[in-house]
C-alpha cells in the first residue's frame, strides 16, 4: 500500500496497521482524484491525506503540495506529524503561519523551494497574493478541518483558488462533520469529487457524561475532577472572555492548569500544549478556536464548562479524547435545564449515549448515591423536652457555630483560602 521508505517510518512510529479512513482514501488520492473525506476525529485523517500526497509529489516541484489548516497550533501539529515522511522521501517542507516571522518564512520559500507547504489561510493568501506561491505550482490542495474552515477564512478565496487550479491538480477536503464546504464542494470548486464517508463504520469507546452542578459550585467540582484516576483533560469555554475571567478565579485554588488563550504569544501557547502532553500539568483551559483539531496524546477527559451551542462544536471537542480508540470521557457541567438542552442537542446522534454521572471516590459512576438516613425524630423530640436551660444554651451556641461555619464554607470560589478562627 505504501512505498518502502514510508513503511520504515510507520514501523518506527508503531503505525503499521492503517486506520479505516487511511485505507479507504489511499487509492483515490494516489490516483489523483479530488475527494471529500469524512471520518471521526482522532482516527488518523492527517496521515490519510499526507502520505499519498507526499508519495505523489516530485522532487524539485516547489509548492506542489499545499495543506491549509484553520489555526497556527493545528498547522504546527500537522507539520510535526508529517516531517518524518517528508524527510524519508527526500522532500522539503515549510510552515507559513500568522504567529511566525514573515520575513523568515518568505526567505524559506525563496531559498528552500519546498515541495510541501503547511499554512494557515491568512498567511497563505498573503504569500499567494504577492506571487510567492503560484496557482500553477499547486498539484495537491488539502483543506484540513474543512467542515469548520468557513469560520476562519472567506469562502470566495478558497473557491477562486480551487477553480483556478490546473486540470491535473486535486483538491482534498477532510473533516469530521458535514458543512457547506463539504456538501457543496462540486459547485464551489467546479470539479467532480468522490465522497468517502466512514463515520458510521467507526466505533468509538468515548463515554458521554453529564455532571449536575450549579454555577456556584462548578469550581469545587472541577477540582474534584482533576483528582480522578488517570485524569488529563481539556476544559472548554464558549468564549475567550469567559475563560480568562474563570482563570482569574480558578488561579486562587491549588489546582495547577495552563491556558490556551488567543492573546498569548506562540511560545507560551506551545509551552501550554507541551506541558499537557508531557504530564507536567493535567488541565488545559481552551476555547474552540484555539484547540481546533489538536491531537494531544493521552487526553482522557474533555469537560464542557457550559452547554455547546452546536452539535459540531460538541463533536469536535469530544474528538480531543478517546483518539485512536483509547479511553476517553466527555463530561458536561450544568443543571437540570442544561441536561434537557444537551439531550435535545444530541437527540439525532445515535452514536452518543448521554448518561448522568456522579462522584464515587476517585472515579465517576452512573449509579446514583443513596441519601443519608434521617435522624430518629421521636428520640430527638424526647431529648428536646428533657433539656434543661444549660443544654438549651449549649444547643443555641452550637447552632450559631454551625451557621457561621456553613456561611464561611460557601463564601467565594476558593474556600480553602478562608481563615477560620479556632
| CATH number of the CATH domain containing 35 | 3.40.50.300
Q: How confident is the prediction for the chain on average, in pLDDT?
A: 86
The per-residue pLDDT for 152 is 55
Q: Positive or negative CA dihedral for 137, 84, 12, 234?
A: negative
Same domain, yes or no: 170 and 140: yes
- Residue 177's pLDDT band (cuts 50, 70, 90): confident
Write down which residue in 153, 183, 201 finishes a domain: 201
Let me know: does 164 contact 6? Beta carbons within 8 Å.
no
HSE of 47 in the Cβ direction (CA atoms, 13 Å)?
Answer: 24
Same domain, yes or no: 239 and 194: no
pLDDT reading at 413 higher than 60? no
pLDDT reading at 402 higher than 70? no
Q: What is the pLDDT of residues 88-143, one digit of tens each?
A: 999 999 999 987 889 999 999 999 999 999 999 999 999 999 999 999 999 999 99
Write down which residue in 150, 178, 201 finishes a domain: 201
- Residue 153's pLDDT band (cuts 50, 70, 90): low
**Does any domain span residue 68?**
yes
Tell me how many domains the chain contains.
3
Same domain, yes or no: 211 and 187: no
Q: What is the pLDDT of residues 1-54, one digit of tens each?
A: 899 999 999 999 999 999 999 999 999 999 999 999 999 888 999 999 999 999
Angle formed by the axes of helices 72-88 and 4-12, to 10°?
120
Calculate what percentage of the chain has a pLDDT beyond 70: 86
Write down which residue in 201, 218, 252 finishes a domain: 201
Angle formed by the axes of helices 121-129 and 155-163, to 10°?
50
**Does any domain span residue 371?**
no
Same domain, yes or no: 145 and 10: yes
The per-residue pLDDT for 414 is 38
C-alpha cell recorded at residue 242: 469567559
**What average pLDDT does this structure show over 62-91?**
94
Contacts of 4 (CB under 8 A, 6+ apart): none
Same domain, yes or no: 174 and 236: no
- Residue 416's pLDDT band (cuts 50, 70, 90): very low
Same domain, yes or no: 324 and 219: yes
pLDDT greater at residue 203 or residue 245:
245
Quote the domain boundaries for residue 213.
207-365
Same domain, yes or no: 332 and 295: yes
pLDDT reading at 395 higher than 60? no
In the numeric block, the cell 454521572 is attached to 357
Let me know: does 328 contact 205? Beta carbons within 8 Å.
yes
Whole-model pTM: value is 0.78
Same domain, yes or no: 158 and 66: yes
For the purposes of burial, counting CB atoms within 10 Å of the CB of 323, is it exposed (0-12), middle (13-18) or buried (19 or more)? buried
**Does any domain span residue 297?**
yes
Amino acid at each position: 500500500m505504501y512505498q518502502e521508505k514510508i513503511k520504515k517510518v510507520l514501523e518506527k512510529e508503531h503505525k503499521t496497521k492503517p486506520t479505516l479512513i487511511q485505507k479507504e482514501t489511499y487509492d483515490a488520492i494516489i490516483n489523483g482524484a479530488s475527494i471529500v473525506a469524512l471520518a471521526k476525529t482522532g482516527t488518523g485523517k492527517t496521515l490519510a491525506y499526507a502520505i499519498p500526497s507526499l508519495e505523489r509529489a516530485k522532487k524539485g516541484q516547489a509548492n506542489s503540495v499545499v495543506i491549509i489548516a484553520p489555526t497556527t497550533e493545528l498547522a504546527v501539529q500537522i507539520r510535526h506529524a508529517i516531517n518524518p515522511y517528508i524527510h524519508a522521501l527526500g522532500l522539503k517542507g515549510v510552515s507559513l503561519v500568522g504567529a511566525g516571522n514573515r520575513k523568515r518564512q518568505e526567505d524559506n520559500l525563496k531559498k528552500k523551494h519546498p515541495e510541501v507547504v503547511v499554512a494557515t489561510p491568512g498567511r497563505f493568501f498573503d504569500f499567494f497574493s504577492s506571487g510567492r506561491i503560484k496557482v500553477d505550482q499547486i498539484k495537491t490542495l488539502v483543506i484540513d478541518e474543512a467542515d469548520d474552515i468557513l469560520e476562519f477564512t472567506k469562502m470566495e478565496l478558497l473557491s477562486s483558488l480551487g477553480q483556478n487550479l490546473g486540470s491535473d491538480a486535486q483538491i482534498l477536503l477532510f473533516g469530521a462533520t458535514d458543512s457547506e464546504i463539504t456538501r457543496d464542494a462540486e459547485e464551489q470548486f467546479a470539479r467532480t469529487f468522490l465522497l468517502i464517508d466512514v463515520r458510521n463504520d467507526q466505533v468509538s469507546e468515548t463515554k458521554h457524561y453529564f455532571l449536575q452542578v450549579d454555577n456556584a459550585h462548578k469550581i469545587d467540582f472541577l477540582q474534584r475532577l482533576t483528582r480522578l484516576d488517570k485524569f488529563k483533560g481539556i476544559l472548554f469555554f464558549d468564549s475567550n472572555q469567559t475563560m480568562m475571567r474563570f482563570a482569574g478565579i480558578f488561579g486562587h485554588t491549588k489546582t495547577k492548569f495552563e491556558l490556551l488563550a488567543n492573546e498569548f504569544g506562540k511560545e507560551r501557547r506551545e509551552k501550554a500544549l507541551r506541558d499537557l502532553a508531557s504530564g507536567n500539568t493535567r488541565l488545559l483551559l481552551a476555547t474552540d478556536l484555539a484547540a481546533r483539531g489538536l491531537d494531544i496524546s493521552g487526553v482522557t477527559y474533555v469537560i464542557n464548562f457550559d452547554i455547546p451551542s452546536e452539535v459540531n462544536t460538541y463533536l469536535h471537542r469530544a474528538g480531543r479524547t478517546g483518539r485512536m480508540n483509547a479511553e476517553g470521557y466527555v463530561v458536561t457541567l450544568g443543571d437540570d435545564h442544561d441536561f434537557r438542552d444537551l439531550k435535545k442537542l444530541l437527540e439525532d446522534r445515535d452514536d452518543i449515549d448521554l448518561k448522568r454521572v456522579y462522584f464515587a471516590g476517585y472515579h465517576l459512576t452512573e449509579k446514583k448515591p443513596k441519601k443519608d438516613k434521617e435522624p430518629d425524630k421521636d428520640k430527638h423530640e424526647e431529648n428536646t423536652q428533657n433539656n434543661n436551660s444549660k443544654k438549651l444554651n449549649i444547643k443555641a451556641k452550637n447552632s450559631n457555630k454551625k451557621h457561621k461555619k456553613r456561611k464561611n464554607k460557601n463564601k467565594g470560589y476558593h474556600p480553602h483560602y478562608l481563615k477560620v478562627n479556632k
